[in-house]
Amino acid sequence: MFDPETSPAPPAEPTPPADDAPPLATGGVLRAIGQFLRETFYTLFLTAALYILLNTITARIRVEGYSMVPTLQGGEFILVYRLAYRFGRQPQRGDIVVFRPQNNGLGGDYIKRVVGLPGDEVLIQNGTVYINNQPLYEPYILERPRYNGYWKVPPGHIFVLGDNRNHSTDSHILGPIPMTRVLGKAVVVYWPPSRVRVLRPEAPPPTTHPTAALRQR
């Protein structure tokens, strides 16, 4: 005979554990993955676009050698503005430019200062540079040139010299440089941090002052 007071009670049904955060549905996981991939793609696309734009407008070069001492030192990194002479804009006397010489067996780009403009007559004699028969005041050079020569700058060309006049492969050896070989204008030294500075044209127009050449270093 069954005694409800003494017989064991039947086992209770197990209670499932509480789960306050049900697992994501498959559709939610796929949406999260898709959003992550889209954001990654947009980030990579913008990075690539900025990189292409930066390289279209500018170039970065490392100064090699000492042909532009004292203005530039070997090992400095220069930012070059590629569009400086586009859209009808012309170089100014004193600009520092980067160009690629024709038939350059050594390779690489050169960085020099613009001295002569199209149509100019350049005469170097007795340590002085003359532009159209007027001496050029050059406080930035390391020493006076120890060579002589005469050049007529053709249209579409410039005449460039290194600030370290006697240790530079420039227009006194290469001749006037076609503007088609000019990559751009050097505008900023950005490395090393202790030498960061803006590069500004330093050459005034040729002067008629009779003692101008004597004030050069």
Question: Are residues 69 and 46 part of one domain?
Answer: no
Is 16's pLDDT higher than 70?
no
CA distance 91 to 120: 13
**Terminal Cα distance for the chain, rounded:** 128
Residue 152 falls in the annotated catalytic set: no
Is 53's pLDDT higher than 80?
no
Query: Is 7 domain-assigned?
Result: no
Q: pLDDT digits over 64-107, tens only? A: 999 999 999 999 999 999 999 988 889 999 999 999 988 765 56
Residue of higher predicted confidence among 215 and 148: 148
Question: Are residues 158 and 79 part of one domain?
Answer: yes
Residue 112 falls in the annotated catalytic set: yes
Active-site annotation holder among 112, 168, 171, 185: 112
Query: pLDDT over 90 for what percent of the chain?
Result: 59
Per the structure, the count of domains in the chain is: 2
- Mean predicted lDDT score pLDDT of the chain: 83
Active-site annotation holder among 7, 67, 171, 194: 67
Confidence of residue 213 (pLDDT cuts 50, 70, 90): very low
Contacting residues for 80 by C-beta, under 8 A, at least 6 apart: 58, 59, 60, 61, 98, 183, 184, 185, 186, 187
Query: Is 175 domain-assigned?
Result: yes
Residue with tokens 């006697």: 166
Question: Are residues 122 and 50 part of one domain?
Answer: no
C-alpha distances in Å from residue 27, one per residue of 32, 37, 56? 9, 15, 43
Query: What does the buried/exposed string (b/e) look like for 31-67 if buried means 16 or more CB atoms within 10 Å of the residue's CB?
Result: eeeeeeeeeeeeeeeeeeeeeeeeeeeebebebebbb
Q: Is the peptide bond before 192 cis (omega within 30 degrees of 0)?
A: yes
CA distance 118 to 14: 97
Q: Is the peptide bond before 8 cis (omega within 30 degrees of 0)?
A: no
Domain hosting 47: range is 26-58
Of these ranges, 7-16, 46-55, 113-122, the one predicted with the greatest mean pLDDT is 113-122
- Confidence at residue 87, expressed as pLDDT on a 0 to 100 scale: 86
- Confidence at residue 212, expressed as pLDDT on a 0 to 100 scale: 37
CA distance 26 to 15: 26
C-alpha distances in Å from residue 92, one per residue of 157, 188, 200? 12, 17, 11
Last residue of a domain, one of 39, 58, 77: 58
How far does Cα 111 stand from its chain's mean position? 12
Question: Are residues 124 and 78 part of one domain?
Answer: yes
Strand partners, 125: 128
Is 15's pLDDT higher than 70?
no
Identify the CATH number of the domain in which residue 172 sits: 2.10.109.10
Contacting residues for 155 by C-beta, under 8 A, at least 6 apart: 118, 119
